[in-house]
Structure 1
Amino acid sequence: MAKFGEGDKRWIVQDRTDGTNVHNWHWSETDCLEWSRNLLSKLLANLTLLDGEGNLFIRTKNIEKVEGEAYVNIRKGKIIPGYELSVALSWEGEAKDADGKSLLKVDGSVDIPYISDENADEDPEIRVTVRDDGPIGRRLKEAMLAKGKPVIEEKVRVYVQTMAQGGPAKDELEAKKVAPKAQSTTAGKKDSGAAAATAPVVEKKVKETNRKGFKSISLTEKFSCRAKDLYEILMDENRWKGFTQSNAKISKEVGGEFAIFDGSVTGNNVELQAGKLIVQKWRFGSWPDGMISTVKLVLDEPEPGVTIVKLTHTDIPEEDRYGNATVVENTERGWRDLIFHKIRAVFGFGI
């Protein structure tokens, strides 16, 4: 991977006096190392991982090290993140007896030797050590691995997703975009005709909701299967695990809770009609506190073996907790690429 600042200078645009990178044609490069240190510190430091379960108390302390390189390249509006980081943080644990008396306090460290854009779709290696080799110290280490490692993996995924969205260069990209020239009426009609001739099965709408700062998504997809089978796939945690390759816990009862995509999406069931309707409350971990959206999936089988799914996802915030304004776009892409298309790929329900 090329080092930050070592690219061919013919392809790196120096800042103009008017702040514009015309058409973003050449490389615009932003150093993100210090920004990465700050974000990873916010994500990983001072996390309570165990608060009395099994009389154990565990929390992370400080980020001790973020070394390596991180940058974002932008060319013609395309975001190209690059990073190779080694991260270390400290943690502390305490074991108490049934009366609340402290048995042992320990300190330890967590090392993440390699977070890289080349492995963005994989969870990084996480090493946990503790400065006590006795039985209680080993118990605290095992609890840290069991409870802390999944949380740390989820926080690293947030960093990876934020870098993929442009990191600190996102706002710069928006500010420097040059509006495309208006096309002639004739060209517009020609393009419309071509688009109509190649229109996909998927219908997509993104629109404002009644709440300021929120939007909704509407998608329509067709599957070659029975409606009852598709309903079962969407509501069965083992099948979710299969087609998403991630952990899932899904209740099949009204009012029951679910956690999918390794816990990055959580919520509960509002209304369920087998083979016909799924209404749920969804919340993404990267959203600001208190933000809860509504998902409605209507399943219709106009003829045996053909199912039409109409999705409406409302009350989606325009920005996540880090100020990234790509929440609606990412949510729509997630439904299409990570759910509907994956179901087709795994179960062969193509149209």
Structure 2
Amino acid sequence: MVVLNPNNWHWVDKNTLPWSKDYLNGKLTSLSTVSSDGKSIIELTQVSSITGDSNVSQRKGKPICYFDLQLSMNVKVTNLDTNKDNEDDDGILADGKLEIPEFMHDESDFPILSQGFDAFDGLVRSEFVPKVVETLLKYQDDLIEEHSKDIQI
């Protein structure tokens, strides 16, 4: 049986999870910010987990994407004070995780859970989490731009 699909009118799908993992690792692991008081730096050290689904599709000639990802990231807060009393001190003030249980294509307001930051939780949430959100909100546009040309005629 021969199935015709003129102009990709019927569904055409492309699994973009491998590309998404590379993209998010590259964009997120370069994130860092100096606190507003200038005493510490907050940096994402590792994207420890990316799971879920990510696809770019075409239906009736129009590219669309849909994704539902779960992300886990390691973040550290380091002291910028160069006058450390203890030379063995590595300057790490807090070492914790940010978790995003549902990062979805149709949501721009998604929950971000934090753990392990103790007294620095407020600092991480107010000064670093907005940078993570800003980066993640660019993902959908970049995903469509990168992969829609592969599924269009």
- TM class, shorter-chain normalised? 0.7 to 0.9
Partners of 1:128 and 1:81 lie apart in 2 by 28
- Counterpart CA distance in 1 for 2:70 and 2:48 is 11
**In the alignment, is residue 26 of structure 1 matched against residue 10 of structure 2?**
yes
Q: Distance in 1 between matches of 2:70 and 2:103?
A: 7
Residue among 96, 105, 114 paired with 1:117: 105
Structure 1 regions of 5+ residues with no counterpart?
A: 1-10, 14-20, 177-351
Q: What CA distance in whole angstroms lies between the structure 2 residues aligned with 1:87 and 1:167?
A: 22
CA deviation profile, 1:198-217 (whole Å, cap 9, x unmatched): xxxxxxxxxxxxxxxxxxxx
CA distance in 2, matches of 1:151, 1:79: 28
In structure 2, the residue matched to 1:100 is 83
Match of residue 172 from structure 1? 150
Q: What are the Cα deviations for residues 179-226 of structure 1, in whole angstroms up to 9, with x where unaligned?
A: xxxxxxxxxxxxxxxxxxxxxxxxxxxxxxxxxxxxxxxxxxxxxxxx
Aligned ranges 1:102-251 → 2 under 5 Å = 104-119=92-107, 122-130=108-116, 133=118, 138=119, 140-163=120-143, 166-174=144-152, 176=153
Say whether residues 1:57 and 2:45 are aligned partners. Answer: no
> What pairs with 1:262-281 in structure 2 (closer than 5 Å)?
none
Residue 71 of structure 1 aligns to which amino acid in structure 2?
A: N
Which structure is richer in relative contact order (CA contacts within 8 A, separation 6 or more)?
2
Aligned position for 1:298: none
What root-mean-square deviation, in Å, do the aligned CA atoms of Structure 1 and Structure 2 show? 2.5
Q: 1:77: how far off?
A: 1.9
Which stretches of structure 1, 4 residues or longer, exceed 3 Å deviation after superposition? 51-54, 102-105
Contact 2:12 2:151 in 1 (8 A): no
Normalising by structure 2, we get a TM-score of 0.82
Q: CA deviation at 1:100?
A: 3.0
Check 1:159–1:104 CA distance in 2 against 1; reply closer, same or farther (3 A cut): closer
Q: 1:35 to 1:104 in 2, by over 3 A?
A: closer
- CA apart distance, 1:107: 1.3
- Name the aligned partner's letter for residue 79 of structure 2: A
Q: In structure 2, list runs of 5 or more residues that go unmatched.
A: none
AA aligned to 2:134 is E
Number of residue pairs matched?
Answer: 147
SS in 2 for 1:124: coil
TM-aligned CA deviation for residue 22 of structure 1: 2.9
Residue 21 (structure 2) aligned to one of 37, 43, 67: 37
- The alpha-carbon deviation at position 171 of structure 1 amounts to 2.2
Give the secondary-structure state (helix, strand or coil) at the position aligned to 1:118.
coil
Alpha-carbon distance, 1:72 to partner: 1.2
For the Cα contact (< 8 Å) 2:35–2:127, is it kept in 1? no
State the shift of 1:81 in Å. Answer: 1.0
